[in-house]
Amino acid sequence: MRISTSMIFEMGTSNLNDLMSNISKTQEQISSGLKIQTPSDDPVAAAAALGVTQAISMNTQYGVNRQNANDSLGQEESNLSSAVSLLTSVQSTVVAAGNGALDDSQRQDYVTQLKSDLSQLLGIANAKDSQGNYIFAGYQTQSQPFTQTSTGATYSGDQGQRMLQVSPSRQMAISDSGATVFEDNPTGNGYFVTAAGTGNTGTGIISQGSVSDMSQLNGQTYTLTFSVDPSTGDTTYLVNPPPTTPATPQPFTSGDTITVGGAQFNITGAPADGDTFTVGPSTNQSVFTTLTNLINTLSTSGEGAVNQTVMTNGLNAASANITNALNNIAAVQASVGSRMNELDDLDSQGSDLNIQYTQTLSDLQDIDPVQAYSSLVQQQYTLQAAQQSFVSISNLSLFNYLNT
């Protein structure tokens, strides 16, 4: 087969060009560390790498969100913790103030203590986070949630809970509203609340009671009215509205258990004629109302049997309500704690995912250095061989031997 001279040169140079461009491509791969320089190098891997890159970025962002959530929950937690210790000390104040041997001026010292406790609790409820947002205001983070009034405090925030996306499938609440923490505390024993009438003149002290029959608790409020027979001295009471059994005056003995509408309690002491006691369903009471009531109770004189009775009934009610408020805040605190634990779990899951994704991305787009280097060396040898053989072939010509 004939080969033209120009063909020899053309084929030689085009082969050399191809070898050269292969070497420069390998060199580019080595210097960038990526085997995909443009999508055409490996279209499937290039498209997959985009997906993995987004996954890595989102995973990192969730980690940042978890950090923010942790900060927010941590700040809430420390405030709740302060509130819990504050209320615990209020509880011991209540017990101490119930000592019958104290006189009015000594109780005033406790009142002063309690007034400062109230301000401190208000301060906790109006706490701000590191960015100046009110923690316990629901969504209205730029207005102070609690304002003190003569009867307690008004909550002007809302019931919103701020959420953050802490993992692809989990939105976590990073705040609790002031209503949940401070306002929604049940009164009494959580099911029903007992109270002595405000105009009582006897010495009857009513206990907090317990539930005897849950099914009968239907939200009805009962009033017990006492009558003292002036001649016999017997004390009886009438329940209004009457439970299913017909209304007849019940004989009263101090300390006896009285059961009304599923509620069970006792009254100790000697109620006067016309004294009333109520048993009704628990409602929600703000802890500030509870504290203000407590302060008012302790501020009135406790001297004399009747005043003593009023004070004792008031302190009993306050003690029960403070306990409920304390339990409520402790429950919120526990929930915050468990959320923070969950964040830790999600953090370790997130870092595992990060490792996986990074590995996948590397598999997709990084070169295998050993393979690339040996490829480069091989290509260099081939190029050298091609160059040398081209030189020797192109020197072959008949004209070299025609020397005439």
Decide: is 164 part of the binding site for another protein (CB under 8 A).
Answer: yes
Q: Answer yes or no whether residue 398 interacts with another protein by CB under 8 A.
A: yes
Least CB distance to another protein at residue 88 (A): 24
- When asked if residue 206 is in the footprint of another protein (CB under 8 A), the reply is no
Residues 43-72 that bind another protein (CB under 8 A): 43-44, 46-51, 53-54, 57-58, 61, 64-65, 68-69, 72
Looking at 98, 138, 152, 302, which residue binds another protein (CB under 8 A)? 138
Smallest separation (angstroms) from another protein to the CB of 11:
8
Written in H, E and C, the secondary structure of the chain is CCCCHHHHHHHHHHHHHHHHHHHHHHHHHHHHCECCCCHHHCHHHHHHHHHHHHHHHHHHHHHHHHHHHHHHHHHHHHHHHHHHHHHHHHHHHHHHHCCCCCCHHHHHHHHHHHHHHHHHHHHHHCCECCCCCECCCCCCCCCCCEEECCCCEEECCCCCCCEEEEECCEEEECCCCHHHHHHCEECCCCCEEEEECCCCCCCCEECCCEECCHHHCCCCCEEEEEEECCCCCCEEEEEECCCCCCCCCEECCCCCEEEECCEEEEEECCCCCCCEEEEEECCEECHHHHHHHHHHHHHCCCCCHHHHHHHHHHHHHHHHHHHHHHHHHHHHHHHHHHHHHHHHHHHHHHHHHHHHHHHHHHHHHECCHHHHHHHHHHHHHHHHHHHHHHHHHHCCCHHHCCCC
Nearer to another protein, 13 or 89 (CB): 13
> Is 119 one of the binding residues for another protein (CB under 8 A)?
no
133 lies in the site for another protein, by CB under 8 A: yes
Binding string to another protein for residues 299 to 338, with x set by CB under 8 A, is what? ----------------------------------------
Size of the site for another protein (CB under 8 A): 68
Q: Does 14 bind another protein (CB under 8 A)?
A: yes
Burial class (CB in 10 A: 0-12, 13-18, 19+), 100: exposed
Q: Of the two residues 97 and 336, which places its CB atom closer to another protein in the complex? A: 336
Which of 219, 233, 246, 304 binds another protein (CB under 8 A)? It is: 219
Q: Does 347 bind another protein (CB under 8 A)?
A: no
Q: How far is the CB of 44 from another protein (least distance, A)?
A: 7
**Distance in angstroms (rounded) separating the CA atoms of residues 321 and 188:** 6
Does 246 contact another protein by CB under 8 A? no
Nearer to another protein (CB atom), residue 54 or residue 380 = 54
CB closer to another protein, 31 vs 245: 31
Interaction of residue 147 with another protein, rule CB under 8 A: no
Binding another protein (rule: CB under 8 A), the pick from 12, 160, 243, 249 is 160
According to the binding rule CB under 8 A, does residue 388 interact with another protein? no
Residues in contact with another protein by CB under 8 A are 1-7, 11, 14, 36-44, 46-51, 53-54, 57-58, 61, 64-65, 68-69, 72, 131, 133-134, 137-143, 158-165, 168, 171, 175, 179, 183-184, 219, 281-284, 286, 397-399, 402
